[in-house]
Structure 1
């Protein structure tokens, strides 16, 4: 495993600490906090950009003293992060890929290694449906910026503002739909295969 240089390691560790601060302040279920690794960056990642980053500037907001430090740090650090996509054009269409991406901070692919949790940032552009999907890992989200409608199980889509905590048990179908604004959300997975591709239940 290649060592990060000092500046890259410090930046990754700062993001992870800010993410943990948000999760603790928002009172997510304790089991999502118990298995966190030592926040020491040991894995080298390669900076990778995606089209969805074009909407980052619309999300920078200092209005929440809890969320703003992480939201603003993600915006500053974005060019140095490894942004990824789980799906391909044949899964959800090429237009979906222009408005979707995520970066892992902690897990089996992020700079901070863990085999028990995966923690990162999801970014969705405006006017996008992320169709119903499910995965083995249970999941918690904290909406950091923007407003989107979320669907859980058989519940209808409901608008959730920044600061909302959303929980998905293992294999619960869930979906997100943005309108005129993008969405940035912090996520934590635990249990199951932390690198698994979610199963799409309803096509876009």
Structure 2
């Protein structure tokens, strides 16, 4: 499994490095992970029992030619990522933790420990609303598979495979899937990558 994860990291850095060549805010954010030195592995990648596992096969089907190589590297790793959902429970959406979550590879609590940068993957099942939330970290997403209705600071767009989305620190954003699950790569950076997201 270690070789599978290492290959995934390399493919992810290669993918982001292409975008980092464009000198804009997204390119600068992509470069932070694309050229970073990965620390030694300090944790484990074990078979997950997360309910999100049921979405994996379908979630990897809705990519694009641009995201195909990264999806091929990601698919064998998906069942072994440390999937979690760590928001406070919501009475209005009690099953949300079984519909969405993230598997973090690099970060303060990830198998590759880093206190200043996070890298992982977000998975949303079909017909799932990820409610409005914010966090101190600057967040970069790239959609690998599926489409979602994406809202940032009140502006809504449908976003699909290969698209990059930048969430500045403390800016409110949300996502809504419909007939396809969505799989996306994300990074967190900035002065505070330890404080968790909170719903607003």
Q: Same fold (TM over 0.5)?
A: yes
- 2:27 and 2:97 map into 1 onto residues whose CA distance is 31
Partner of 1:4: none
Partner of 1:30: 28
> In 2, are the aligned partners of 1:106 and 1:114 still within 8 Å (CA)?
yes
Partner of 1:174: 173
Partner of 1:128: 128
State whether structure 2 residue 9 is matched by structure 1 residue 11.
Answer: no
> In 1, are the aligned partners of 2:64 and 2:144 still within 8 Å (CA)?
no
Give a deviation string over 1:99-143, Cα, whole Å, max 9, x none.
111111111222322222101000000111111100111111000
Give a deviation string over 1:73-95, Cα, whole Å, max 9, x none.
32212222211112243476332
Partner of 1:187: 186
- 2:39 and 2:65 map into 1 onto residues whose CA distance is 25
State whether structure 2 residue 68 is matched by structure 1 residue 72.
Answer: no
Flag the 1:65–1:112 CA change in 2: closer, same or farther, 3 A: farther
Name the count of aligned residue pairs. 193
- 1:91 and 1:11 map into 2 onto residues whose CA distance is 38
TM value normalised by structure 2 = 0.86
Query: Runs of 5+ in structure 2 lacking a partner?
Result: 21-25
CA shift, 1:167, in A, is 0.5
TM value normalised by structure 1 = 0.84
Partner of 1:5: none
Partner of 1:104: 104
- 1:127 and 1:63 map into 2 onto residues whose CA distance is 18
Partner of 1:162: 161
Partner of 2:50: 50
- 1:192 and 1:92 map into 2 onto residues whose CA distance is 33
RMSD of equivalent CA atoms: 2.1
CA shift, 1:59, in A, is 2.6
